[in-house]
Every structure is written in C-alpha cells, then in structure tokens.
C-alpha cells in the first residue's frame, strides 16, 4: 500500500508547516507528515520551508538572522492566496512533542542545501532520540553530503536523499549515500527506475503529487509513498483503487 505524507502538513488547505496544517493532516487518516527545518540566530531548530520568513509570514528577514523570540512574534498564516490568523512557526521540539501523542510518521527535511547549518545533523538526531521517535522519523535532504553524514552519525536512522534533476539513477543514489530510500520529484521518475528500486527493496517516495489521475497512476504502479499537499484527496484516491 502506498503511504500518504502530507507535504508541509495539509498545506493545500491550511498554512504550510504550522501545527494547524499538521493536525488537519492527522484528521485525514494519512500515514505521515513532511516538514522542513531551518535554524534561528540563537540556534533553535524551527519548522519553516524558506530560508527567509517573507513568503509565509508577516515578517521579513532570514531565519538565521532572527532569534526564536522574534520568530515567535510572526504570524505564519499565509496559505497560497488566503490569510488565516494566529498561526506560529513551530519549533521542531513542539512538533516532536505533539507526535508523541499520535502514530504519524514524520519526514523531517533538513533545509541545509542553501544555508549550511553546521551541526544540524547531530542536533536533529539528538532530538529524535530525546523524544524517542526513532522508529517514526524519516530524515531527508537535497544536500547529499548531509545524508552521508547522517548515516555516519547513526547507521540505523531512516534516511533518504531528495532529488529533482532528470537523469539521476535513484538506485545508485541510494547506494552511494547509504540511504534506505529515495525521495524524488515525480516528474523525473520513470517506471523502469521505480521498478529497479522495487526489485532492490529501496522504497521510492514521490513529491509533490496533487492531482487525482497522477496519484492514481503512481499508486497503481506501487510507489511506496506519495508526498502531497492534499492528503484527504490522496486518501480518497487510495480508497477507490
Ligand atoms: O521532501 C519533498 C519536498 O518537500 C521537497 O521539496 O521544496 O517542497 O521542500 P520542497
Ligand atoms: Ca520539504
């Protein structure tokens, strides 16, 4: 069965990477959520996609130039063209604490491919251990050096490199990064590549699949996971297969 991950939470309907979006995703019955991690000026891991707060909040500036106090004053309620209100940027601790009360799998994407947050890999691994979430976290990153480092630091961690370029051999990428899965933009994945991963028992998860025909197509091909902005939609598609 294809697992369904809510991309930045239920971000198609609610403000991305907020507790609201994560809680709404849980209500759909999907298996997991995906979120993005950056680090504040004072060294706190926070859940936000961009390196800057400009797009998703009412503030301005780089996450790395703002303290947690400054970050927490922002309203992170932007959703596409709609403004909700009173949604804060969560810390990774806050999300992990919430995860302790449910059974969701959480795909933590380390956003360390543009800003190089030194020591982020160790910090994330320490938090996973502290919150005892070892068997429910999937770590991923576009930074494949970071993926290799994560494996060196914890060979038992569930780790997946992300890629979006055509021509990448996913099985080779998994092997060279010592990863147990790959996360790819669905546009660059071929059926043949996915089948070679299936034969090697390397799970393939594809992002960001939002349209019903595409969800149905990849689910019918047996993809391990889909990462979608609309988990409730993906649940309906899966139930009707
Ligand atoms: O992990 C898949 C996906 O989240 C990667 O792209 O830009 O949405 O973080 P992005
Ligand atoms: Ca992401």
pLDDT digits (tens, 9 = 90+) for 73-125: 999 987 666 777 789 999 999 999 999 999 999 999 999 988 889 999 999 99
Centre a 10 Å sphere on the Cβ of residue 215 and count the other Cβ atoms it contains.
26
> Which pLDDT value is given to residue 34?
98
> Which pLDDT value is given to residue 32?
98
**DSSP 8-state secondary structure symbol assigned to residue 185:** E
By C-alpha distance, which of 205, 167, 174, 208 is closest to 188?
Answer: 167
- Mean pLDDT for 3-11 is 98
User: What is the Cα–Cα distance from 119 to 107, expressed in whole angstroms?
Assistant: 19
> Which pLDDT value is given to residue 90?
98
- Nearest alpha carbon, ligand 1 atom 2: 207
What's the pTM value of the predicted model, to 2 decimals? 0.97
Sequence-distant (6+) residues with CB within 8 A of 6 are 21, 22, 25, 28, 30, 32, 33, 34, 227, 228, 229, 231
By C-alpha distance, which of 164, 109, 161, 157 is closest to 136?
Answer: 157
> Which pLDDT value is given to residue 203?
98
- Nearest alpha carbon, ligand 1 atom 10: 49
Instruction: Please indicate whether residue 24, judged by its CB atom, sits closer than 6 Å to ligand 1.
Output: no
Q: Where are the domains of the chain?
A: 3-239
Instruction: Please indicate whether residue 205, judged by its CB atom, sits closer than 6 Å to ligand 1.
Output: no
Instruction: Please indicate whether residue 160, judged by its CB atom, sits closer than 6 Å to ligand 1.
Output: no
**DSSP 8-state secondary structure symbol assigned to residue 62:** B
Q: What is the pLDDT of residues 118-169, one digit of tens each?
A: 999 999 999 999 999 999 999 999 999 999 999 999 999 999 999 999 999 9
CATH code of 3-239, in short, is 3.20.20.190
Q: What is the pLDDT of residues 49-62, one digit of tens each?
A: 999 999 999 999 99
Largest Cα–Cα distance of the chain, in whole Å?
A: 49
Task: Give the residue, out of 4, 33, 34, 170, with the most ligand 1 atoms within 8 A of its beta carbon, to mutate for a pocket test.
Answer: 34
> Which pLDDT value is given to residue 114?
86
Q: What is the ipTM of this complex?
A: 0.98
Please give the share of the chain, as a percent, with pLDDT higher than 90.
94
DSSP string, 114-135: SS--TTHHHHHHHHHHHTT-GG
β-bridge pairing 182-185 and 105-110:
unpaired
Task: Share the mean pLDDT of the chain.
Answer: 96
Instruction: Please indicate whether residue 140, judged by its CB atom, sits closer than 6 Å to ligand 1.
Output: yes
Centre a 10 Å sphere on the Cβ of residue 27 and count the other Cβ atoms it contains.
10
User: What is the Cα–Cα distance from 169 to 167, expressed in whole angstroms?
Assistant: 6
Distance 107 CA to ligand 1 centre (A): 10
Task: Give the residue, out of 12, 33, 36, 226, with the most ligand 1 atoms within 8 A of its beta carbon, to mutate for a pocket test.
Answer: 36
Question: Catalytic positions, please?
Answer: 7, 49
């Amino acid at each position: 069965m294809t697992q369904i991950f809510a991309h930045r939470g239920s971000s198609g309907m609610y403000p991305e990477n907020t507790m609201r979006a994560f809680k709404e995703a849980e209500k759909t019955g999907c298996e997991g959520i995906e979120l993005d991690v950056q680090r504040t000026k004072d060294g706190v891991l926070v859940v936000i996609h961009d390196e800057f707060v400009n797009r998703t909040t009412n503030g301005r500036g780089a996450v790395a130039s703002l303290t947690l106090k400054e970050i927490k004053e922002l309203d992170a309620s932007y959703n596409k063209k709609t403004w909700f209100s009173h949604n804060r940027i969560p810390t990774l601790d806050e999300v992990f604490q919430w995860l302790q009360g449910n059974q969701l799998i959480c795909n933590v994407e380390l956003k360390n491919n543009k800003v190089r947050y030194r020591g982020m890999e160790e910090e994330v691994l320490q938090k996973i251990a502290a919150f005892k979430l070892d068997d429910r976290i999937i770590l991923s990153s576009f930074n494949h050096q970071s993926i290799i480092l994560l494996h060196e630091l914890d060979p038992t961690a569930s780790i997946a490199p992300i890629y979006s370029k055509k021509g990448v051999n996913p099985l080779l990428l998994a092997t060279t990064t010592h990863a147990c899965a790959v996360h790819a933009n669905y546009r660059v994945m071929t059926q043949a590549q996915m089948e070679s991963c299936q034969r090697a028992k390397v799970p393939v998860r594809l992002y960001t699949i939002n349209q019903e025909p595409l969800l149905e197509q990849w689910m019918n091909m047996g993809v391990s996971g889909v990462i979608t902005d609309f988990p409730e939609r993906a649940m309906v598609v899966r139930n009707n297969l």
